[in-house]
Amino acid sequence: MGKLADNEQRKLRAAFYNNLAAGLILAGLLIPAMAFTQFGFDLGRWIKALGSGEAAISYDAMARGFIVGGSAAIAFLAARFFRAVAKAEIAKLED
């Protein structure tokens, strides 16, 4: 193939990886927000409990929080990886 066709393929690959990264960031933001909403995470009640010295959060809720937070962190790391792959594809473009 010619240089022009190779450049177009690289641009398409870069756009694919960039869109994958954007989707992972969106998922990394929305899924934890929906999970906390579904599990009934009440930040105000939790802060009041911390201030009064009583048990603020159960172990079950804490485990769910770590799972949701961990999945968000993995999504952001994967997004960062795919964004780096997209940058590497763009760097291969020829004049």
**Domain that residue 64 falls in:** 3-91
Instruction: Check: CB of residue 68 under 8 Å from CB of residue 35.
Output: yes
Share of residues in the chain with pLDDT > 70 (%):
81
Give pTM, 2 decimals: 0.74
Mean pLDDT in the chain? Answer: 85
- Quick one: tokens of 46? 């939790």
Count of structural domains within the chain: 1
- Quick one: tokens of 5? 């066709």
The tens-digit pLDDT sequence of the chain (95 residues) is 789 999 999 999 999 999 999 999 999 988 888 877 776 666 667 677 767 766 666 777 777 778 888 888 999 999 999 999 999 999 999 88
